[in-house]
Amino acid sequence: MSNTQLLFLGIGLISILLLYYSIKILIKVYRCKQIAEFALDTQAHDIVFNAAGFYKISFIGCRHIKIGSTTISLFHSKTNESIPLKVSFPNIVTRSNGIYGVEYWSFKISQPGTYTLKMEHITDVKSYQSQLLIKNLFSKPTDSQFLKIRIKDGLTILERISSIVGLVLGVNGLAWGIMIGIFNLFDQV
């Protein structure tokens, strides 16, 4: 076996590990559990988080949303410790049971327990059924009374991107690395 063959077989083996890691993250995406779901209203909602971790807040029933001056606050029910919410970028559109949703906020819980979620100025929320901004300029917003808020486990955008890049590089590295390594394509030229 030449050095070139060993190099490409090594690339193929590293690609197997990269592919394993990427598929593991993809499985994690589909196993994210729903924590709570409720109608979009100004009532305070108590939510029980059984584990510390990363979570997402989604608007269910639309593909694009503008929140205007709507504010949302999440705090621990006993200690009144406020949890900082970050606007997700990009706003990922999801589909579950034929219903679209937009992941809008993300947050991290450091300790399990009961937390209270409160929204204000919800009349400023405008939802659209299209993701195309130009189409939304010429269409009326859909009725936001049918919107729901869903809280579920989430993954960071870095994990999602690394999974996609890992899949692409893993499949290509595996195919080309092993194919070139076994068939010794470069030494035949």
The answer to whether residue 189 scores a pLDDT higher than 60 is no
**Residue 101 sits in the same domain as residue 61:** yes
Q: How confident is the model at residue 19 (pLDDT cuts 50, 70, 90)?
A: very high
What per-residue confidence (pLDDT) applies to 106? 92
Task: Tell whether 133 and 169 lie within a shared domain.
Answer: no
| Shared-domain flag, residues 57 and 102 | yes
Report the alpha-carbon angle 137-138-141, nearest 5. Answer: 75
pLDDT given at position 185: 65
User: Domain tally for the chain?
Assistant: 2
Question: Residue 177 in contact with residue 37, Cβ under 8 Å?
Answer: no
Q: What is the pLDDT of residue 1?
A: 65
Say yes or no: 65 and 97 in one domain.
Answer: yes
Q: Are residues 164 and 146 in the same domain?
A: no
Residues 57 and 120 in one domain: yes
Binned at pLDDT 50, 70 and 90, residue 109 comes out as very high
Full domain range(s) for residue 41: 33-154
Q: Tell me, what CATH number does 78's domain have?
A: 2.60.120
Q: pLDDT averaged over the chain? A: 84
Residue 10, pLDDT score: 84
Same domain, 82 and 168: no
pLDDT at 136: 66
Q: How much is the average pLDDT of 113-135?
A: 79
pLDDT value of residue 97: 79
* 74/44 Cα distance (integer angstroms): 10
- Of 26-30, 46-50, 136-140, 176-180, least confident by mean pLDDT is 136-140
One domain, residues 89 and 12: no
Task: Specify whether 160 is located in the same domain as 146.
Answer: no
* Closest C-alpha to 35, from 155, 154, 152: 152
Residues 23 and 99 placed together within one structural domain of the fold = no
**Half-sphere CA count of 97, side-chain side, radius 13 A:** 2
Please tell me whether residues 108 and 49 are part of one structural domain: yes
pLDDT above 90 for 175: no
Clarify whether residues 61 and 138 are in a common domain. yes
